[in-house]
Amino acid sequence: MNIRVEEIRKLERGSLRGFATVTVGDIRISHIKIIQPEGKEPSIQMPQRSYQMNEGGRRYSNVVDLPDDLIREVEKVVLWFWKKEPAHLYAGGRTRRAKCMISDLSFAS
């Protein structure tokens, strides 16, 4: 399965470090969160939607469900690109878009 990172938007807001847009095969997935709690390794979180339960609580569910092994491959690719640019460019909560096309770098499983 070909995985292409189309865009990385870096930011620093709590443990949220940015967003990614990725194409997996012919499917485009946007709003993938890049999360890094203090003192821990970064990871991704697939896009989610929230809804309110009858009892008043809030529930979350993934918009796209991928097999665990494919999510790990997407995470590997996204974090590789995310780590390429220095973090000091994004200090102060500013965002910066970085187009990341991987025509010469193919992560296939």
What are the backbone dihedrals phi and psi of residue 64, each rounded to the nearest 5 degrees, phi first? -125, 130
What does the longest C-alpha to C-alpha distance in the chain come to?
51
Give me the pLDDT at residue 86, please.
Answer: 57
- Write down the pTM of the prediction: 0.76
60-95: burial string, b at 16+ Cβ within 10 Å, e else: eeeeeebeeeebebbbebbbebbeeeeeeebeeeee
Q: Where are the domains of the chain?
A: 2-108
Give me the pLDDT at residue 85, please.
Answer: 65
pLDDT one-digit tens code per residue, 59-104: 999 999 999 999 999 999 999 999 986 554 444 444 444 444 443 3
User: What's the mean pLDDT in 25-53?
Assistant: 95
User: What is residue 42's three-state secondary structure?
Assistant: coil
Give the pair of three-digit tokens for residue 23. Answer: 């194409």
